[in-house]
Structure 1
């Protein structure tokens, strides 16, 4: 079986999972009520939500350029931002076998960056982005304990946090794995990516701005969700914004569905339900957020 066939099979599996997840969500939610709520979104909230996500792309493109400099020459800032928008558009608007990360890698390489540097730069950008989410989840833990007494929920959020920390630690320590345990073709890229992760996280001159931008990037995403919820007239506050939404976004990055659709909606219904938000309201927030991401990525189309 060639690579193209494998990609299409993987895409078909993702599509089936996406449909299945959406079906499961809709089974337990009044979709008609969700549509009615969505129709009531104020235009100003819609515009603000999209604007926040576009600003997130600008900041994320800046962060990506800072990361690329760890691997050698970097793209000019306007080019890095443009390529980030392109990747964002592919991730959210187009069901494809390539994905936004693949688009960024391909375009950066075509513009003169070495292929290994392009791959490692995008992968490390992903890692730092996830770390920003982990930081937000960690910051929200005290609020979680103040609002949720259920032990299983507390343990679930603690597990999410520990998994994120373990993933970052694994990236830093991968450079110490004995060579005989790593396939020959992966030794050099794994070593370089681990060294760059080490540099990005353990040297303040690099880690502080990169991780600071990562927190800002995801703070803007959380703010976009918050604006949508307020625009729908929902009673959401600091707890929902700083604790529940970052956890939903973090778990939605698991690449099991197309563009996170279905998975994100189910997680949002469950998470916001902890704060007493009705299922149809939580579903409407998630769908509108997904649509806002598509609109925000249009400059990269």
Structure 2
């Protein structure tokens, strides 16, 4: 029941944000997002999406292999595309990641470890995004930073709350590690897998490189969206705004990725002295770019469905009687055609005998 309530909270949160944007800015900014897109901008966004997806899949391979799981880059790319499409097409924005984690876990015989590999892979990307985002926001002069400073008291309270929570967490983890409870074992397992999956010498350089390149790809897509929407602001002025939008996308209150991204982008552009409506249009264009970039995932889903259907059609059962010298049936042979494509020759099994 708690999971169901949380799912509704996430869905209604995203719908609520979009409803407020409709109310305050009207539908024009959303419709403009459809009008400004052309074949050139779509092609550029799609090409960037291919590069970022391959890099994300490579990062997943590094983490999974660090945890002792087998995962080829080709399979990872296909599964990642499928996950991106599911995330973009369904509410919540995480169902695709759940699907690829569970599917890979079933293939490897360890769903729990596969789920943790996906969590670590996504966490690595968020850590790089958070690090770069905070660095840019605190060092690049921007009216947005001025607005944040104007709410310094609220920020201080939030930071203090997080600090207290961090201290409590450290104390709790320390006690858990000293005990022999199930939670203590889980904490030790998590620490060991973080070291093996993320911090191992053979892994972390590639993970940092992939995560940084993926972030650069997302920013490049935002730039293409901004130029398509008619914004001529410099990259230095756009960078803090785009990073805020990307940080907002990590919030679990969305409908297929829509909601926080549009709300934060509209607010950030307004706070920066630009048009809030234009910021909303840019966010809409980015969302459409992201959906188009995820469309190969639909092809993966359809091709696998066709392959399963063909494999099922190849399944057949033939009973061949074995006749004795007197002409009486002594046994029957069950012939089963292969269920999966690529399986070896049909299996024959003696299933019965009689007079």
TM-score, normalization by structure 2: 0.71
2:209 corresponding residue in structure 1: 212
Query: If each structure's helix is expressed as a fraction of its own residues, which one has the higher value?
Result: 1
Cα gap change, 1:246/1:146 in structure 2, threshold over 3 Å: closer, same or farther? closer
Instruction: For 1:204 and 1:237, locate their aligned partners in 2 and report how far apart those are by CA, in whole Å.
Output: 38
* Deviation at residue 240 of structure 1 after TM alignment: 4.0
Give the equivalent residue in structure 1 for 2:17: 21
Show CA shifts across 1:152-187 (max 9, x none).
34877x88xx89x98xx99x9799533279995544
1:292 equivalent in alignment to 2:292: no
Using CA pairs below 8 Å that are at least 6 residues apart, which structure has the higher relative contact order? 1
Structure with the larger strand share: 2
Shift of 1:243: 2.0
**Counterpart selection for 1:264 from 261, 266, 269:** 261
User: What is the CA-CA distance between 1:300 and the residue it aligns to?
Assistant: 1.5
What are the equivalent positions in structure 2 for 1:124-163 lying under 5 Å apart?
A: 124-141=120-137, 143-145=139-141, 150=146, 152-153=148-149
Distance in 1 (CA, whole Å) between partners of 2:179 and 2:230 is: 53
**Unmatched segments (≥5 aa) in structure 1:** none
Within 1, Cα distance between the matches of 2:287 and 2:179?
38
Q: Does 1:244 align with 2:245?
A: no
How many positions carry a matched residue from both structures?
292
- Please tell me whether the aligned partners of residues 137 and 242 of structure 1 are also in contact (alpha carbons under 8 angstroms): no
- Aligned counterparts of 1:240 and 1:187: Cα–Cα separation in 2: 47
Q: Is the 8 A contact 1:226 1:236 kept in 2?
A: no
1:251-292 CA distance string (max 9 Å, x none): 221212223311111011112223333122111111121122
> What's the TM-score, normalizing by structure 1?
0.83
Q: How many Å separate the matches in 1 of 2:186 and 2:197? A: 16
The 1:199–1:96 alpha-carbon spacing in structure 2 relative to 1, beyond 3 Å, is closer
SS at match of 2:141: helix
Q: For residue 14 of structure 1, report the CA deviation from its aligned partner.
A: 2.5
Larger Rg: 2
SS in 2 for 1:145: coil
- Contact kept, 8 Å, 2:93 with 2:252, in 1: the verdict is no
| Mapped partners of 2:170, 2:177: distance in 1 | 16
